Structure 1
């Protein structure tokens, strides 16, 4: 059975992919609050990853690690894909960033926020995107 996502989901994904993580949070939280599993946990996983990157942009290392960890943990059950979404790509790319940040340590938070383009225009290292599964 193919999962049909509401238009608000796709709006939240566009915001996520543009790095508008605060807006993405608001958009996805509205549908998350009204949804039931299995969609509820799926929305929450993406939402938490977005909020994790928002925390990184504010140099909140602990908040970033906590939410990236919780988000990837929720998404692990939806791999490799869910609906039209390439969950494996988002999961593995986010997990790699989480491990990089853990190893780098809190004192390098601002450096990585900059490298990922969260504090300037052009990222040295692109953040993960939510992508559709290639057909």
Structure 2
């Protein structure tokens, strides 16, 4: 497992959790470009989920579903807790949103209030209590 995550990672987590998905993507992409495995794929999974929410905010259901699935598939390779976050919880929340999106008719996506509709709760990244974080 990795050591302590860089400050930029935690900045990206904060951006993710406050709905600044495009900024989160940019922050984590900068880390991803320079990273080595296993952190490289970890960053990519989170930034793909962030971009999925960005697409969803722009009513791009197809792009949101594709990237939400791809990002989740990348994160499934990691243990329950990795990099100081609760990976399992992020995956559970993302799977629930993906299922809800798949059941939503595309023409109804425009009427949804991202993050405010109870049927489409947006996942948050949960930090785990760890002596390294």
Scaled by the length of structure 1, what TM-score is found? 0.88
Query: Take 1:33 and 1:2, find their aligned partners in 2: how far apart are those partners?
Result: 17
Q: Which moved more, 1:73-82 or 1:17-26?
A: 73-82
Deviation of 1:3 (Å): 2.8
Deviates more, 1:77-86 or 1:62-71: 77-86
- Displacement of 1:2 in angstroms is 5.0
User: Could you tell me which residue of structure 2 aligns to residue 129 of structure 1?
Assistant: 124
Q: What's the CA shift string for 1:27-71, capped at 9, x where partnerless?
A: 000000100110000000000000000000000011000000000
CA distance in 1, matches of 2:19, 2:104: 22
Q: Which runs of 5+ in 2 are unaligned?
A: none
State the number of aligned residues: 128
The separation in 2 between residues aligned to 1:5 and 1:134, in whole angstroms, is: 14
CA–CA separation in structure 2 for the residues paired with 1:7 and 1:95: 28
| Farther off after superposition, 96-105 or 9-18 | 96-105
Rounded Cα–Cα distance in structure 2 between residues aligned with 1:4 and 1:41: 16
Asked if the contact 1:90/1:128 (under 8 Å) is kept, the reply is yes
Report what 1:71 is aligned to: 71
Tell me the secondary structure at the aligned position of residue 77 of structure 1: coil
Paired with 2:58 and 2:124, the residues of 1 have a C-alpha distance of: 20
Post-superposition, which runs of at least 4 consecutive aligned residues in structure 1 deviate over 6 A? none
Does the CA contact (< 8 Å) of 2:5 and 2:84 recur in 1?
no
